Amino acid sequence: MAEFKEATGVVDWLDQRLAVKKFIKVMMTEYWIPKNINFLWAMGVTLLILFLVLFFSGLMLLMYYKPDTQLAFDSVNQTIMQEVAYGWLWRHVHAVAASVIFLVIYIHMFVGIYYGSFKRGREMIWVSGMLLFMIFSAEAFSGYMLPWGQMSFWAAAVITNLFGGIPLIGPDLVIWIRGNFIPADATLTRFFMLHVVLLPVVILSLIALHFYTLRFPHVNNETGEVIDFDKEAEKYKAGNRKEAKVVAFWPDFLSKDIFVVCVFMIGFFFLVCFHYDFAMDPINFDPADSLKTPPHIYPEWYFLWSYEVLRGFFFSSDLGLMAFGVANVIFLLMPLLDRSKVVAPAHKRPAFFVWFWLLVADLIVLTIYGKLPPTGVNAYIGFVASITFLGLFVLLPIITAFENKKAGGHS
């Protein structure tokens, strides 16, 4: 056992047992961030804060929510919304945060794509981020089921039914996932377990992994410049802060991030107090009824693009299902599909720039048409947008390989 000296204070006492000073150095005061980044690099910390808001508001709701098909709807719409003091506020905070976190995730993801932050040593940052995206999607889906309203029930029916398309085991798998022939009590309780225990634990572990993956390659910067972090850190530590190309994570970088988070939170609470309805579907204020199919079933806005890819192939549900499967994993493959060695913002890579904005425009079209009934001309627009989405990812390796040739293979 190591020798322990009489501690000079609380910090010293903790330091002897947990090496807190070294930990703070490695994680905060000597973790280096490039100077040439903009407010878009604050999205990561904003996501972390939003996750904490979801976690805490979720704990509040959990005290009154009842995971039982007979009780769930009233426990939310009557007990939490009408009877418990400020229950409505926690529910609005939770619902708005769940919706807004996807907007910030998409911005964070597309900033990564725009600046090429998923390659040249940063592949694991990207992969851990995409895993977070997938688990967050499962978390949102399982949470949407809990109020046991009409949309909860029918979204659960439609999404679990998708597994039926898997050859051989599909139909049995659907029953196994639901724990019944239709979404029922067993379905609600298992999705409740996923939503409040298993998935949050996985998310917390993935956030830790995501932060760890940032440690060695460091975050990218606005120009894609390769920075010698050790050399620049020496300049910073020697007091030459103006010349150094890096700043410390704490207090320099985080204090600016906190400013961005505060501005963001003003907008967030404005939505919570005055426009919370955008995060709640009116149809979900009717209790679940397995005998009454709503005329038009659609998911929350953040799933609409992939839902439209699923529906886009209206003439073949098998093709639609395959396209939907591809759409859900394709972003994970970005480091493989972008063949170019150039790490630079898209506006310095002409072909990639066009590709990037076409992708964004196509995702917006898919999102809009995902909400509309898939009839008449809508079905054709959905089909064209779905094909364009897949086509863009077929094109990506080709245009980036070409870019590589032009640059002579150098970054």
Residues that bind ligand HEM (CB under 6 A): 41, 43-45, 47-48, 51, 105, 108-109, 112, 115, 117-118, 122, 125-126, 129-130, 132-133, 207, 210, 214, 219-220
d(CA 357, CA 103): 17
What are residue 104's phi and psi, to 5 degrees? -70, -35
d(CA 224, CA 386): 32
Residue closer to ligand HEM (CB basis): 35 or 122: 122
Residue closer to ligand HEM (CB basis): 13 or 55: 55
d(CA 307, CA 298): 8
d(CA 88, CA 84): 8
Distance of closest approach, residue 143 Cβ to ligand HEM, in angstroms: 15
In 276-373, DSSP assigns E strands to none
Residue closer to ligand HEM (CB basis): 42 or 151: 42
d(CA 324, CA 345): 29
Distance of closest approach, residue 328 Cβ to ligand HEM, in angstroms: 13
Residue 114 in contact with residue 346, Cβ under 8 Å?
yes
Distance of closest approach, residue 82 Cβ to ligand HEM, in angstroms: 32
d(CA 167, CA 285): 36
SS (H, E, C) 79-125: HHHHHCCCHHHHHHHHHHHHHHHHHHHHHHHHHHHHHCCCCCCCHHH
Could you tell me which residues are beta bridge partners of residue 33?
247
Distance of closest approach, residue 4 Cβ to ligand HEM, in angstroms: 35
Distance of closest approach, residue 146 Cβ to ligand HEM, in angstroms: 20
Residue closer to ligand HEM (CB basis): 251 or 373: 251
Q: Token pair of 74, please?
A: 């009233």
Distance of closest approach, residue 160 Cβ to ligand HEM, in angstroms: 24
Residue closer to ligand HEM (CB basis): 46 or 77: 46
User: Helix, strand or coil for residue 32?
Assistant: strand
- Taking the alpha carbons at both ends of the chain, their separation in whole angstroms is 51
Distance of closest approach, residue 210 Cβ to ligand HEM, in angstroms: 5
> What number of other Cβ atoms are within 10 A of residue 277's Cβ?
12
Residue closer to ligand HEM (CB basis): 13 or 393: 393
Rg (the chain; Cα; Å): 24
Residue closer to ligand HEM (CB basis): 13 or 110: 110
Residue closer to ligand HEM (CB basis): 67 or 224: 224
Residue closer to ligand HEM (CB basis): 117 or 152: 117
Residue closer to ligand HEM (CB basis): 187 or 306: 306
Distance of closest approach, residue 308 Cβ to ligand HEM, in angstroms: 20
* 222 Cβ contact list (under 8 Å, min separation 6): 36, 37, 38, 115, 345
d(CA 67, CA 157): 18
Burial of 342 (0-12, 13-18, 19+ CB in 10 A): buried
d(CA 28, CA 23): 8
Distance of closest approach, residue 346 Cβ to ligand HEM, in angstroms: 13
Nearest to 343 by CA among 126, 131, 105: 126
Distance of closest approach, residue 129 Cβ to ligand HEM, in angstroms: 2
